[in-house]
Structure 1
């Protein structure tokens, strides 16, 4: 299996699935994001680790699971580049000193918990803790990845949220992820709102109610409280609410082979119904925007 699915000069870091396939005035304050479902591995990555082991870090097929979003009026931005190449759900200054062979910039956040775990903006390890590289990267490599992938993704996401605020007075970002089945045993979905800091409680309450009505088991903020995207954009006082939703991969995926199971379509239909309810909700009243 080869990881080479993109040219090293690749400039397309993301795409946006627009409602009806056309960019138009937002019909809803909702914006969907799938930052970790990217499947492209640029040629300049040159990993030493087995390709299947690297791919287990992907939030595989999450973008497909939430494809109802654009149908219901919520644009979906999805990273195309794999998170092990460049993780758009990290602060761009989260640089791992154990990965780079040079002195890092003074503003680098080398002591963050994510960097300590080897999961900075350029990951040092894959899912399970295996080292991705048998070499140190140059700082130029890391900064180039940030410029080509992280910066354009967040520029586009910021513009989507700005459009929603302009049209509706506020924006509601749902950041979709998946988690290993072992991460939260007995839990189907984990809702991360930075312990209430990234959105009004009504948003988390509403999503949790929709999930439990559909028969799913939920938890809040443990083991995932929300990453960089939720923390960076979730500013209720600035009329932007952000919620991270983690989906248990055991609901739809054979994690050893990264293949969907017979339950994939059932989950996609269930999420489609939940997304329809999200799109129909009176967010202005719920959020008191």
Structure 2
């Protein structure tokens, strides 16, 4: 099922087939070597998935980076591309290595190669999340090998194939590329009663030039926001996979505190979302302008 409380333009479920794994909006203005990607804002929950849940759908919706794609929807106006996931992150997590799999979730063989267990997998937050917002197991039964393989083949693989191809095309055309991986975070976490407005993750300087991180931080602080770097989020699979600053490919993760734009319990936008979108358009503009300085 598609979640459509305020999503009039979202895709719907079509029979038993997979929808396209993503949508890609091309630049409206003169193209710049920049991609904004939103891997966790997908709102598609297939009926076959919902039917095997043991928790309310709201528990999964609360794990979405809900409406982050809309916060950055002005990116094409500034010459950047906007890549948006279709499916919910609880169905398959596009910001995880496809080998981050918990074999115990499957009734049979795992659907692909399995890496050494990571902290995320052990916590139930691998490529196929096992828990929801309340920390409870979301599935009423184990998954089949075929179901897991289908999610990888039809969603995870096409999304990253497209992202890789677009980065390569920008790099070939402009001699550089910038990827901004767009996320949101809960307003509080255990042991962290209140998080800052924004967390910038550049993997401690290894995924992009510090000039880009500093530019985004300055721009956000000038608008009155609180900003930290790399704590508690330093960047995930996407920034690690694509960030190669020595090759002029820069990847920066932006985490936005959901209290700025969202009713976190109901997972609905609040009035302040419009203002935040406007302020983020200023950030988008600064990044696209900066990209011209990176060209050889």
- Tell me the number of residue pairs that the alignment of Structure 1 and Structure 2 aligns: 283
Computed over aligned residues only, the root mean square deviation of the Cα atoms, in angstroms, reads 2.0
Where do 1:175-214 residues align within 5 Å? 175-183=181-189, 185-214=194-223
What SS does the aligned partner of 1:269 have? helix
Aligned equivalents of 2:214, 2:187: Cα separation in 1? 23
Matched, 1:279 2:288: yes
Distance 1:93 1:279, change over 3 A: same
C-alpha contact 1:173 1:241 (8 A) present in aligned 2: yes
Unaligned runs of 5+ in 1: none
Are residues 112 and 186 of structure 1, via their aligned partners in 2, closer, same or farther at CA, if it must alter by over 3 Å? closer
State the match for 1:28 in structure 2: 32
1:123-164 alpha-carbon deviations (Å, 9 max, x no partner): 111123121101011122111100000011111111111121
Instruction: Give distance in 2, aligned partners of 1:224 and 1:245.
Output: 9
State the alpha-carbon separation in 2 of the partners of residues 125 and 238 from structure 1.
37
Q: Secondary structure at the match of 1:247?
A: strand
Counterpart in the other structure of 1:94: 100
The CA distance in 2 between the partners of 1:140 and 1:114, in whole Å, is: 23
TM, length-normalised to structure 2:
0.90
Distance (Å, rounded) in 2 between the aligned partners of 1:200 and 1:240: 9
Q: Distance in 1 between matches of 2:112 and 2:161?
A: 24
Change (3 A) 1:121 1:206: same
> Given the alignment, which residue of 248, 254, 257 partners 1:245?
254
Residue by residue, what CA displacement relative to the aligned partner does 1:39-91 show, whole Å, maximum 9, x if unpaired? 00112213221011111111111000011111111010010111111111111
**From 13, 17, 32, the counterpart of 2:25:** 17
- From 171, 178, 202, the equivalent of 1:165 is 171
Alpha-carbon spacing, 1:71–1:3, altered in 2? closer, same or farther (3 Å): closer
The 5 Å alignment of 1:224-235 reads: 224-235=233-244
Residue equivalent to 2:48: 44
| 2:10 maps to 1:6 | no
CA–CA distance in 1 between the matches of 2:287 and 2:295?
16
Equivalence for 1:221: 230
Cross-structure match for 1:150: 156
CA distance in 1 between partners of 2:195 and 2:233 (Å): 15
Q: Residue 28 of structure 2 aligns to a residue in which SS?
A: helix
The range that moved more, 59-68 or 271-280, is 271-280
TM-score (norm 1): 0.92
Equivalent of 2:273, from 253, 264, 269? 264
Distance 2:204 2:287 in 1: 21
Corresponding residue SS for 1:120: coil
The residue number in structure 1 matching 2:77 is 71
Partner Cα distance (2:62, 2:56) in 1: 10
